Structure 1
Amino acid sequence: MDTNLALVHGAKEPQLCLKTMRDLIDDQAAQYGDRPAVIFPWQSVRLSYRQLADRSKVLAKAMLEMGLHHGDCVGIMAGNCYQYIEVFLGGARIGCPVVVLNNTYTSAELLNAVKSSSCKLIFHSTSIGSRNLMGHIDTLRGTQYPNPALPELRRIVSLGSEAFSDKGVEVQSYNKFTSNGLSVFMNNATLERAERKVTREDVVNLQFTSGTTGSPKAAMLTHSNLINNAQFIGGAMQLTPDDVICCPPPMFHCFGLVLGFLSSFYRGSSIVFPSDFFDVKKVVNAIIDEDATVLLGVPTMYVAELEVMAKTGQRPRRLRTGLASGSSVSQNLMEQLRETMGVEKMLIAYGMTETSPVSFITSLDDSDEKRTTTVGRLIPHTAAKVIDQKGTILSRGQRGELCTSGFVLQKGYWRNEAKTQEVMRRDENGVLWMHTGDEAMIDADGYAHITGRIKDLIIRGGENIFPREIEERLMSHPAISEASVVGIKDERYGEVVGCFLKISGEHRPTNREIQQFVGEKLGRHKTPAHIFWLGDAGVGADFPKTGSGKHQKHIMRDVGNRLIGIPKAKL
């Protein structure tokens, strides 16, 4: 093999786990018994490995009792609650894919997601935080049964209020539904027959792509996809039964469900979900009260947690590492995490929903330089390449589209073969590759550098500019805690660089100071022509984000273009 080519392969050890989720649940219960598996302080609930196994059987039996069969989809729209874990594991036992629904959906978005994923059963919170979701449930119910808009939906289980009328699709309380799983008519032999039909290549989970642009699609993820991703990510974090993981990211996203819950579950650790949605004070309290050793999150979460710790003086005792995903962690933020939280080594993971999700991750043995400028190396049993527009593999150090292959690949998009074939294509050797849409470079050591989304490319006067390197430069400024760079329309150049910035602390640099700071390292053409500060008129108080915390750049582009079109006197 030409070692100069941007083609890399992950290790062949450790071996892939060949279990189904049912096997994993029962094996962990046998091994770890009464050890705490999941902790939900906001619900005052702690469940052991044995309790989770027992409760998953109850949920599975209740699903069978209502007539669900292998392959029928079960949806859930809720915050991070103990019922989420029980539903996921219960559906997994009997081959009913669990559709995790974004808890920021509007009623119309929810209706589309439930319809497109053909859910027959929906678990739904009546509220998440202060947000009332009774209207969402009414939308799903309709006014008659079946709901003409959702002809396959047979039942809704409410994770809250039980005050519903008799119209439309039947609504049951969670307690009532689970009591069906304790029925004498649903015995263990029936459950075991259903479990035996399940294979590790069956779909266990439908995850909708985050939908930062375009219509979300549902990635079909298998037992093998998720269990092995959890195995290798838990290994990278060096999790043991002595670890306590604090997990603020949502479970409707792979970060919370796979990198959080399953990675912890696979390693016999305990995991804490501090609140139903991100509440920074509850996160900090959970870190302290549960004596967490590992913290998960996107950089925006870490920034908020540091701000609370600076005000309250709270300090973790045992935090040893953290895992970040969604965007890079600057050297400045890395140093603050070390100084304030005691996190010596922060891991960076890269992937996408369609790859279960992680394909690259840094190591606890990597240098700070590698952990702040790269997304690490491939996880085992995967491969990656960087190609040009013609599909030719480039050389190390050259930028192109990143493609990945191996056990991580989704089965495809649910009932959407056309979109599946757009992004999953076989090469001349018959190897199936996922075309990520990310521009990347693989260096001589096999580390991947993600330089931006190909669709986020800024073309200034015919010159290609990738926002990520400008964002990294901006976030190295001590007065900036977050940055997002987008292309802003320009009459002369077509597009110029615009940036949205959040200050860290009290001092706000002048726009000229920011431009000089960027220009010192990156050159004039990459210097922001337009600078928008969060909190200013028309900009907004925070970055527009998806439910999983990713910046929505298409919204920022629209805001920036609108603001530069307003006469200066009105700004």
Structure 2
Amino acid sequence: MSHAMAAGAAPKDGLSHVTGPGEPPLKQATIPQLLREAVASHGDAEALVFCETGQRLTYRAFAQEVDRCAAGLLSLGVTQGDRVGIWSPNRLEWVLTQFATARIGAILVNINPAYRLSELDYALNKVGCRVLITARSFKSSDYVAMIRELAPELGREVPLACSRLPELRHIVVMGDDASSGMIAFTDLTGRATPALLARLDGIEAGLAPTDPINIQFTSGTTGMPKGATLSHFNIVNNARFVTDRIALTSADRLVIPVPLYHCFGMVMGVLGAVSKGAKMIFPGEGFTPAQTLDAIAAEGATACYGVPTMFVAMLQELDRQHRDLSTLRTGIMAGALCPIEVMKRVNRDMHMREVTICYGMTETSPVSFQSFTDDPTEKRCETVGRIHPHLEVKLVDAEGNTVPVGEKGELWTRGYSVMAGYWGDEAATEASITDGWMHTGDLGVLDAEGFCTIVGRVKDMIIRGGENIYPREIEEFLIRHPEVSDVQVFGIPDDTFGEEVCAWVVLKPGSTLMAEALRDHCKGQIAHFKIPRHVRIVTDLPLTATGKPQKFVMRDRMQEMLRNEAAQNA
């Protein structure tokens, strides 16, 4: 898309309200249609490379494997609208499941690989997953053991019946070695009989682009995670427009070290690449800077995705060991603002002179703003670019009035990308969407050219290394501890991760609970990145006159305490 087409995105009448260009047109297509088009145009070209395992598939071979997986799901009784959970790091089976569920109209439920017991229990039950496809383990998480703890009745009979997971019928374990009562992924695809394969085209013909196809959990400030429900139409089009902005083509080779469970990996990465017939390169199951740089060099990659902390780690690794990255051209940095010195080094030392910045949220599929490849470096660091096609954004004050250009306001988004709603939570949906406008909760500023700067959050979300962390969820977990009377969780600045999680805890009378014991209580129950780095046992919490906790006071006091401790230890 040309800058001329984006010119209409500048605010008018001095108000912070912008509308994206109307070109290119929106695509009325499902995910399987998108893949079929890629096969028709680029069938013999490589589609996926998994560097850690050596797996490589052309678009045609990939589509065939997708069909085998889809037929296997049919053999388990999965039908349109059923929820299929995927709990795994970046693996080939993840991408196969993504397209196989879409082929038969089942709804893919993304489960964070870092989830622990209470989070897994909640997610599976919230959306009523009938099938869970899982890796055996990842890092310190033994997924099979956790599932057995949730489902002790699990035996050799299928479908299983489990009191804690009443909707779940089948568990598929990636690989070719099934545990008792579970199905090996290779056995699942082996169930693809000619009769089942013959049903796929007919099922797909009955799907509509507006059908829900994906649920992604995004935490709220007022409770447990909510399931943002997205359609083919939402994510197919967002994937197209994201990769349009980096001028991705079938000649490109895109490295995807970001997680597939997140929109960054599965929408901007996988679907974006498929929309252009580009090659997808996955360095490993999780991100390591050395693996990612090795993949770039070995595959002659032209593009790379990541959050700023990933690029900082790659630059540090590059200082330790040189790689030839001269094939790189572009990529996307998202999740947090990029320091200008980091951007300059990425442009120079990684040859990514056309890297762009994105802003969005899961509920908007995800991207609303993105810079162009030739925007000035300062604009690419200080702003999140300009509005995407077919979207409308306004910044509003507390009364919902559009604020003047240059003033702070909450960012509201409207258009094709807004989710259908939160699964099974009508009240939360109504509170978040007004007349089609998604309330993002982010505070932004628009300038006269339509560039947007994110300046804060209406509520107290913490962003740690690109992960969105909502204090209320952690507070609700900690308050269940029998010795905890009150707790407040907030973020404090951190040089490495952007922010770190901090908890101030008031104990019940007579308790001698230590801070480290409370941290240990979190392990195995909530994701590692949510466990508070700093825990302070306090006698009371600073409150307003009306009894509301003053997190900004706690934040300031905590930073002062840490500075004093650092000075004493110096």
What is the TM-score when the length of structure 2 is the normalising length? 0.80
Measured after TM superposition, the shift of residue 197 of structure 1 is: 1.9
Q: What is the DSSP-based 3-state SS (H/G/I as helix, E as strand, rest coil) of the residue aligned with 2:327?
A: coil
Correspondence for 1:62: 72
Residues 67 and 197, structure 2, Cα contact 8 Å, conserved in 1: no
2:129 paired residue number:
119
The structural deviation recorded for 1:22 is 1.7
- Indicate if the aligned counterparts of 1:396 and 1:444 stay in contact, CA closer than 8 A: yes
In 2, are the aligned partners of 1:309 and 1:315 still within 8 Å (CA)? no
Deviations 1:188-242 (CA, angstroms, capped at 9, x unpaired):
1x22232122100001111111568842111001000010001101100100111
Distance 1:89 1:112 in 2: 25
Task: Find the partner of 1:154 among 149, 157, 169.
Answer: 169
> For residues 299 and 194 of structure 1, what CA distance do their matches in structure 2 show?
42
| Equivalent residue, structure 2, for 1:231 | 240
1:500 aligned onto 2:494: yes
Structure 1 residues 502 and 228: alpha-carbon distance in aligned structure 2, compared to 1, 3 A threshold:
closer
Partner of 1:79: 89
Residue equivalent to 1:530? none
Give the match's secondary structure for 2:393.
strand
Asked if structure 2 preserves the Cα contact closer than 8 Å seen for 1:280 and 1:304, the reply is yes
Q: Secondary structure at the match of 1:5?
A: coil
Distance 2:536 2:427 in 1: 30
Please, what is the CA RMSD of the aligned residues?
Answer: 3.1
- 1:262-301 matched pairs, under 5 angstroms: 262-301=271-310
1:247 Cα shift? Answer: 0.9
Number of equivalent positions: 487
Give the Cα–Cα distance (whole angstroms) in 2 for the partners of residues 120 and 2 of structure 1. Answer: 49
Structure 1 position 24 matched with structure 2 position 39 = no
Q: Which runs of 5+ in 2 are unaligned?
A: 1-10, 155-159, 472-489, 499-514, 517-521, 538-554
What does 1:101-500 align with in structure 2 at a 5 Å threshold?
A: 101-129=111-139, 131-144=141-154, 145-160=160-175, 162=177, 164-165=179-180, 170-181=181-192, 183-188=193-198, 190-209=199-218, 214-426=223-435, 432-456=436-460, 499-500=493-494
Contact 1:384 1:403 in 2 (8 A): yes
- The residue aligned with 1:91 is 101
Q: Does residue 42 of structure 2 align to residue 35 of structure 1?
A: no
Task: Give distance in 1, aligned partners of 2:98 and 2:271.
Answer: 11
1:454 Cα deviation from its structure 2 partner? 1.5
Q: 2:165 is paired with a residue of what secondary structure? A: coil
Q: Distance in 2 between matches of 1:199 and 1:163?
A: 35
Deviations 1:60-101 (A, max 9, x none): 111112111110011110110111111110100111010111
Unpaired segments ≥5 residues, structure 1: 427-431, 458-466, 472-483, 487-495, 505-536, 539-543
Q: CA deviation at 1:570?
A: 8.3
Paired residue secondary structure (1:42): coil
In 2: Cα distance, 1:197 partner to 1:17 partner: 17
Query: 1:396-432 deviations in whole A, cap 9, x for unaligned?
Result: 1110100000001000001111111111111xxxxx1
The 10-residue stretch of structure 1 (332-341 or 381-390) with the greater mean CA deviation from structure 2: 332-341
Moved more, 448-457 or 364-373: 448-457
8 A contact 2:221–2:459 mirrored in 1: no
Report the residue type matching 2:186 in the other structure: N
Paired-residue identity, %: 34
Instruction: Measure how far apart 1:338 and its partner are.
Output: 2.1
* Counterpart AA for 2:33: D
**Alignment partner of 1:119: what SS?**
coil
CA distance in structure 2 between the aligned counterparts of 1:558 and 1:351, rounded to whole angstroms:
33
Assess, with a 3 A threshold, how the Cα gap between structure 1 residues 497 and 286 changes in structure 2: closer, same or farther.
Answer: closer
Q: Secondary structure of 2:378's match? A: helix
SS of 1:215 mapped into structure 2: strand
How far does residue 553 in structure 1 lie from its aligned partner after superposition?
11
Q: Determine if the alignment matches structure 1 residue 46 to structure 2 residue 56.
A: yes
